[in-house]
Amino acid sequence: QSVLTQPPSASGTPGQRITFSCSGSSSNIGGNTVNWYQQLPGTAPKLLIYSDHQRPSGVPDRFSGSKSGTSASLAISGLQSEDEADYYCASWDDSVNGWVFGGGTKLTVL
């Protein structure tokens, strides 16, 4: 069981807007920032969103992040087939004094 809770799967059609949720607690999301990672099939993870809503250079503005209380969300607008991947949220946890990840959400583009 992951400390951060994510739905295991999601699906959408090209052009659609889709959101992923990530639920935690006061010791992680509630008190620290959230990062999102994208893992394309067979590749290493890639930083997609950091500090709740910041995008690294090179990440399209179709990707956006937000946080409220102990939950965070990742949104993808204008869904594309190449967005098919696993998406993980992560946050520093003050209780375990380390990083915690969500179990990941597998996105299928229909």
Partner 1 sequence: EVQLLESGGGLVQPGGSLRLSCVVSGFTFSSYVMNWVRQAPGKGLEWVSTIVNIDETTYYADSVKGRFTISRDDRRNTLSLQMNSLKAEDTAVYYCAKGTHSSAWDPFDYWGQGTLVTVSS
Q: Report the interface residues with partner 1, using CB under 8 A.
A: 2, 32-33, 35, 37, 39, 44-47, 50-51, 56, 86, 88, 90, 92, 96-104
Nearest CB to partner 1, comparing residues 1 and 13: 1
Give min distance, CB of 62 to partner 1, in A: 20
Task: Please tell me the distance from the alpha carbon of residue 20 to that of residue 22, in angstroms, as a whole number.
Answer: 7
Nearer to partner 1, 25 or 33 (CB): 33
> Which amino acid is present at 83?
D
- 43 burial level (CB within 10 Å; 0-12, 13-18, 19+): exposed
Minimal distance, residue 89 CB to partner 1, in Å: 10
Rounded distance, CA 8 to CA 28, Å?
Answer: 20
Residue 108 near residue 11 (C-beta atoms within 8 A): yes
Nearest CB to partner 1, comparing residues 35 and 64: 35
CB of 92 to partner 1, least distance (A): 4
